[in-house]
Amino acid sequence: MTHSANAPATIDAQFKALSDGTRRALLEYLVREGEQSVHALTAISGVSQPMVSRHMAKLKRAALVTARRTGRETWYSARAKGLAPVVQWMAVYGALWSQRFTALDGLGE
C-alpha cells in the first residue's frame, strides 16, 4: 500500500481530532448545515467561544475543515474530502479483519 509522506501524520491528527465528541458534533453540524461562523457554532455547541475556537483549530490542523475570515468573524466549512485518509485506512483494515473473521468461521465447520 502506498502513502504520501505525510499520510500517517494526517491520519494520526484526524483520529486525535475525531476522538473528542464535541469536535465530532461540530464537524457533523458543518457537514449537514454548511459553512458556519464561530458565533453560530458556539450557539449550538454548549461550550464557550474560546473552546469552540480551540476545537475548530484542531479540526483545521487535521485538514477536516477550512476557515475564512470576514471582518472579525471566522467562518468554517467541512472539507469534502477531509476524511478520505481515515476512510481509506478503515477500508484496508476492515477488509483485513473481514478476511480473518471469514477464516475463523471456516475453522468451526
Domains defined for the chain, CATH in brackets: 7-107 (1.10.10.10)
Rg for the chain, CA atoms, rounded: 18
Torsion from C-alpha of 20, 21, 27, 31, nearest 10 degrees: 150
Locate 89 and state its grid cell. Answer: 485506512
Instruction: Identify the pLDDT of residue 7.
Output: 66
- Tens of pLDDT, residue by residue over 77-101, are 999 788 887 888 888 887 778 777 7
Q: What pTM, to 2 d.p., does this model score?
A: 0.76
Place of cell 461562523: 37
Please choose, from the candidates 22, 25, 55, the residue with its C-alpha nearest in 3D space to the C-alpha of residue 38: 55
Whole-angstrom Cα distance, residue 55 to residue 101?
37
